[in-house]
Structure formats: C-alpha cells, structure tokens
Amino acid sequence: MSEIIVQRCRPWEWEEAMDVAERTFMEFVAPVYEPEGIKGFTDLVTDKRVKNLFLDGDYVVFVAKDGDKIVGVISIRSGNHISLLFVDKEYHRMGVASKLVANVSEYLRLRKFDHLTVNASPYGVPFYHSYGFEDTGVEKWERGMLTTPMKLLL
C-alpha cells in the first residue's frame, strides 16, 4: 500500500467511486436494512440525475486513492451533510475514513460551515463516535434504513 491520497472525484472516476460505495454498502450495511432501503441506496449510486448534479458541482464527492485505485469515497449534499462514506473492506481500520472526513471538514470550514451532519448506519456509528460526532437524535427507521442522526462541530 502506498500513501493514501484524498482528492476531489474527477468525472471519469464517478463509476469506480460509486462501485466502491455499493460493494461496501452491500456487505456491511445492507444486511440490516429493509428491501426499500437497499433499493433506495442502489438507486442513489446509479441515478443519472445524481451523476449530473456531481458533474455540475452540486453534489460534492471526494475519493481516497491508493495509487490509481479508489479505495474510499465520501459525498456531501445539502451543503454540509454526509451522503456517502464508504471504504473498501481491504482498507478498513487504516485511517482512510478519517482522512476522508478530515478533508471534507476542511473543505466545509473554508466555505464557512461550522458543522457536519450524517445519518449514520448501525455499522458506521462506532466510527463516527470515535471521530467526535455526537448523536442529535435516536436511532430510527426511515424509508427502509436504520440510521442515527449525528453532528460534528468543525
């Protein structure tokens, strides 16, 4: 493994980034979600409208790369809300997710945001807590997805 580099996702990297998100979601998150939630997620990562928002700069995506290989992805919607945060299973517990969140946090601070939010899956909650996110509500089911709303002050 070479040094992991985080950068803005380039248009030609979209499919690879979404593939990392979908593969990781299916293995680690989907098993506790209802079919409606799984479909909602797969629709998101394959939606041409979302890709067009990305291409127009309205859906911000960063990728973590090991050489030329994308090993992690984070996306932001609604200004300062994490929409996706996934790391290839071979790179878990190597600081990749932390690098992605740190990069997005700096990106948002430069744009005068003072916090970052996420609706964390049960699998992601321990990571977000370890990074300093705090729960802002209770775990709940919504559209087939079990999530905990969280916030990080920047």
Question: What band does 1 get if pLDDT is binned at 50, 70 and 90?
Answer: low
What residues make up the domain containing 135?
4-153
Q: 135-152: string of b/e by CB count within 10 Å (b at 16+)? A: eeeeeeeeeebbbbbbbb
Evaluate whether 94 touches 79 at the Cβ level (below 8 Å).
no
Residue 105 φ/ψ, nearest 5 degrees: -60, -45
Say which CATH number the domain at 48 has: 3.40.630.30
Predicted confidence (pLDDT) per residue in 89-136, tens digit: 999 999 999 999 999 999 999 999 999 999 999 999 999 999 999 999
- pTM for the whole thing? 0.95
Domain count, the chain: 1
Q: For residue 115, what are the β-bridge partners? A: 153
Q: Measured on CA atoms in the order 25, 26, 32, 34, is the torsion positive or negative?
A: positive
